[in-house]
Amino acid sequence: MTDTAINLERVGVVGCGLMGSGIAEVCARAGLDVMIREIDEVAAEAGRARLVKSLDRGLSGGKMTEGERDAAVGNLHFTTDLADLADRQLVVEAVVEDETMKIDIFRQLDRLVTAEDAILASNTSSIPIMKLGTATGRPEQVIGIHFFNPVPVLKLVELVTSLMTSDDTAARSDAFATEVLHKHVIRSKDRAGFIVNALLIPYLLSAIRMMESGFASADDIDTGMVEGCSHPMGPLRLTDLIGLDTTLAVAESLYAEFKEPLYAPPPLLSRMVEAGLLGRKAGRGFYEYQR
């Protein structure tokens, strides 16, 4: 918790996939004006559809009234031009887990965003924040605000400060997450994978290796962890939910940072990503899904 008040009205979200749409949703539901940047009209439309579907699910599940759903929809704006985020007080980047792409976006945001005290945040799962901070002329305002999937449901936010992030940026980001979005913040130092993925990814990779070696079936591995350890979901189904591409990218960041075999991606994961078997969002991963 923090005592810092945050005066926030205008938020930008870059990327409207699984995570960006969730982040935009919770911001819009908190009454913030949200400008979302997607790569093209098709992706923006897919993002809008995902958001509206999620809000409608909230309405039918009794989580919000019709008026609240309409107000949230009214707070959401879409663009394909990053320059439309110029007047934002906080921007959360949530594009694919690709270091080069994220660095390029931070470089552009630094040039475009006009407010001198704007916070430039990344939802990266694993890329060290320092790498994004040094792409800007204001690394003290760059921070990791790492949400969890699905964002409207899971309370956790990991706040990741680099060696250059200022205390003021950290305090205002903490206030945004706790006071505006009512999330539960944990703090991590700037190491690839932070807290949760540094622990989670080796576990997911172990499950994939176990299946790949013929040791056990996907169903039995997942059932083992659900019924034996009370996990809400087994590791292969969870990998499908996260996205196999994201899991692979996070494993590669961890492996690049620590050079530990436990972070090395198993060949089956790489082959499935090459085949486009990305999990739930693609309709098929370790399991098949209706889209």
Residues that bind ligand NAD (CB under 6 A): 14-20, 37-39, 43, 94-97, 101, 105, 123-125, 146-149, 242-243, 246, 281
Q: What is the phi/psi pair of residue 10, to 5°?
A: -120, 120
* Cβ–Cβ under 8 Å, residues 15 and 109: no
- Closer by beta carbon to ligand NAD, 12 or else 139: 12
Minimum CB separation from ligand NAD for residue 5, in Å? 27
Q: According to DSSP H, which parts of 213-243 are helical?
A: 218-229, 235-242
Minimum CB separation from ligand NAD for residue 147, in Å? 6
C-alpha distance from residue 132 to each of 102, 120, 122, 215 (Å): 7, 9, 8, 40
Q: How far apart are CA 143 and CA 28, in angstroms?
A: 21
Minimum CB separation from ligand NAD for residue 2, in Å? 22
- Closer by beta carbon to ligand NAD, 94 or else 164: 94
- Closer by beta carbon to ligand NAD, 29 or else 37: 37
The two tokens of residue 231 are: 């996990």
Minimum CB separation from ligand NAD for residue 242, in Å? 4
123 is catalytic: no
Q: How far apart are CA 65 and CA 147, in angstroms?
A: 25
Q: What is the C-alpha R_g of the chain?
A: 19
- The strand pair at 156-160 and 142-147 is best described as antiparallel
Residue whose beta carbon is closest to ligand NAD? 17
197 is catalytic: yes
253 is catalytic: no
- Closer by beta carbon to ligand NAD, 18 or else 118: 18
Positions marked active-site? 125, 146, 158, 197
